[in-house]
Structure 1
Amino acid sequence: MQLNINQKFENIAVAVRQITKKVDQNNKGYYHLQVSIGLKSYDSKIWNDDEKIGEEIVPGCLAYISGIAKNFKGSIQLHISNIQRIFNPSQELLNSVIPTGFVNESDMIKEIEKLISTIKNPYIKTLLENVFNLPDVKKHFYKKAAGAEIHHAYQGGLAHHTIEVAKIVQNYCNIFTYIKYDVALAAALLHDIGKIYELSPFPENKYTTKGRLLGHITLGADLVSRAISEIKDFPNELKYELIHCILSHHGMLEMGSPVVPMTIEAIAVHNADKASAEINAFHLAIERDTGLDSWTEYNPTYKRSIKKT
């Protein structure tokens, strides 16, 4: 749903991403919100400080809103006159509001299976089959996002990002034929597996306590290590190479990796991950933007505005 300037709206369902109580220049209280409908994210204001609003409306909830869309500094801002929290929303309503990806779940499942089928090493193939058949992975991998805000931050984003990284790695292997294909592809498929625990389900899509304390790199390396331990005679050297790729995929210590890439396969996975994340982040910024010109609002993550295509 796309809202336009001066358009009145009544009882439309939104996901509340953020809400903050503030005070204006006249010392009058109001609420500043970010609400979303699908991928679109709207800056919003409620021009009163009713305590009940702050008690009921919390990040991650769904709500019906009424009001009018206004032009504020070249972007659409929603002036909300009435807001009502939706308790126990139906799955149909959830699906109409939460951000969804660009590939459906059944297609992504087939794509992951197809990628695994290209692996020749029996230990690595067994590992991948076992991991993607784990109950937690089957339940969450195709539903959760790959990020809370910046990239692939939509339902199915984790699987979508993983497939992109794997396909980029395949292309690297075609160009740089000395890359160990099985190791690099397996690491690409497993590099973000820990995000099934790091992020909560939609509509909240926030970092869990476990995710904040341990991070997806540690959680993923632990999951894969445990899966490897259940495969008889899995070669130690192969285990170290795979785990190293997971631990180093952020590329730098200051970006959260406990080690930097020290193998060709690790640097390939890191660069594939970076390419997928940054290109999608630009695309997502464009899709979310509610500005009225041909450029997005200033993006604080990348310290620039992005030209809409």
Structure 2
Amino acid sequence: MLNLKTNDRIENQPVIVRQISKKINQNGKEYYSLQISYGIKNYDAKIWNSNIGVSEEIIPGSVVNIWGVVREFKGNLQIHIDKILHISNPSSDLLEKITPSCSLEEDKLAKRLAEIIGTIKNEYLNQLLNNIFSSPDIKEAFYKKAAGVEIHHAYTGGLAQHTIEVAETVIQLCKIYNYIDYDMAVAGALLHDIGKIVELSNFPENKYTTLGRLLGHINIGTQIIEKYTSQINKFPEDVKLELQHCILSHHGSLETGSPVLPMTLEALVIHNADKTSAELNGFYLAIQRDVKNDDWTDYNNTFKRYIKKS
């Protein structure tokens, strides 16, 4: 963890560049504005001296070493960079050290996923889930990708963590509302964001891929369901359609990106479980990332409010 304080001097510090842009101040002088990260923390940074050599290789997702000093600006920490050097081939150890990651280990996430799949009695859904999550391409990406670029579960392992949180919430709601189809609701929960294995790139970049921007994870997810159900002999058409509906409607409204509204009990419970997981983690990340020197975060544009840290 990089815990910085006002007036700290930074020497040869590796960080990930999240954003970088050249701007012009009121006096017509050029400067660079950056957002950099180390682990879960994001920092605002500036290069006021435009004569400092900024390589063309320094783009969002690149790993760099920086030198500079920490200042305070409007209650927030701001790093004034004196020197910045691109790291061409960062080692796996360095990437693991500076990349934001899930607090849960991959083997524990995989074990819980297998346990949840084991509770599903519908033979077609059970086989479908086992086929999807045992596929080498999907398995590798599922435990490495984030669930979002910035807002929620935006770290390695975040997609798997978010998926299991949604499934766990659905399981508990099924205990309360026993008229929900458990197998369909839990299967839909486990597959609702499966398209994100393609929609988002790997860390340290973690941005939308071209396919992700053009199609989005919801459409990609329904395509994955189409592909894997076609490989199972006599997979029921009605089960496939209801499962695809759960994916298509899980954002809950047309305004938030769902092509259709939830029209089954199972789709509705998945939407609400997804919303709960995303918002709670979004709040938590906002608190963890904040570098303001008081008990409240800076104004959060996503949630349109200040968030109390303690």
Q: Do both share a fold (TM > 0.5)?
A: yes
What do the CA deviations read for 1:205-226 (whole angstroms, capped 9, x no partner)? 0000000000000001100111
- In structure 2, the partner of 1:78 is 79
Structure 2 residue 282 is matched with structure 1 residue 281 = yes
| Kept in 2: contact 1:248–1:259 (CA 8 A) | yes
How far has the Cα of 1:51 moved from its partner?
7.9
- TM-score normalised over the length of structure 1: 0.98
| Kept in 2: contact 1:21–1:54 (CA 8 A) | no
- In structure 2, the partner of 1:3 is 4
Q: Which stretches in structure 1 are left out of the alignment for 5+ residues?
A: none
Structure 2 residue 109 is matched with structure 1 residue 108 = yes
What residue identity is the alignment partner of 2:218?
Answer: I
Higher mean alpha-carbon deviation, 54-63 vs 178-187, is at 54-63
Structure 2 residue 273 is matched with structure 1 residue 272 = yes
| Kept in 2: contact 1:11–1:64 (CA 8 A) | yes
- In structure 2, the partner of 1:290 is 291
How far has the Cα of 1:135 moved from its partner?
2.0
| Kept in 2: contact 1:22–1:30 (CA 8 A) | yes
| Kept in 2: contact 1:5–1:70 (CA 8 A) | yes
Distance 1:50 1:282 in 2: 39
- In structure 1, the partner of 2:156 is 155
Distance 1:157 1:237 in 2: 31
Could you list the structure 1 runs, at least 4 aligned residues long, displaced by more than 3 angstroms after superposition: none
Distance 1:2 1:52 in 2: 27
How far has the Cα of 1:52 moved from its partner?
4.4
- In structure 2, the partner of 1:140 is 141
What residue identity is the alignment partner of 1:14?
Answer: V
What do the CA deviations read for 1:32-58 (whole angstroms, capped 9, x no partner)? 000000000000001122484152311
What do the CA deviations read for 1:12-44 (whole angstroms, capped 9, x no partner)? 100000001011122111100000000000000
- In structure 2, the partner of 1:196 is 197
Equivalent pairs counted in the alignment come to: 309
Higher mean alpha-carbon deviation, 260-269 vs 131-140, is at 131-140
Aligned identity (percent) is 57
Structure 2 residue 264 is matched with structure 1 residue 260 = no
- TM-score normalised over the length of structure 2: 0.98
- In structure 1, the partner of 2:70 is 69
| Kept in 2: contact 1:131–1:227 (CA 8 A) | yes
Distance 1:289 1:187 in 2: 34
Q: How do residues 1-309 of structure 1 correspond to structure 2 at under 5 angstroms?
A: 1-50=2-51, 52-53=53-54, 55-309=56-310
Higher mean alpha-carbon deviation, 199-208 vs 127-136, is at 127-136
How far has the Cα of 1:262 moved from its partner?
0.2
**Secondary structure, counterpart of 2:7 in structure 1:** coil
**Secondary structure, counterpart of 2:156 in structure 1:** coil
How far has the Cα of 1:256 moved from its partner?
1.1
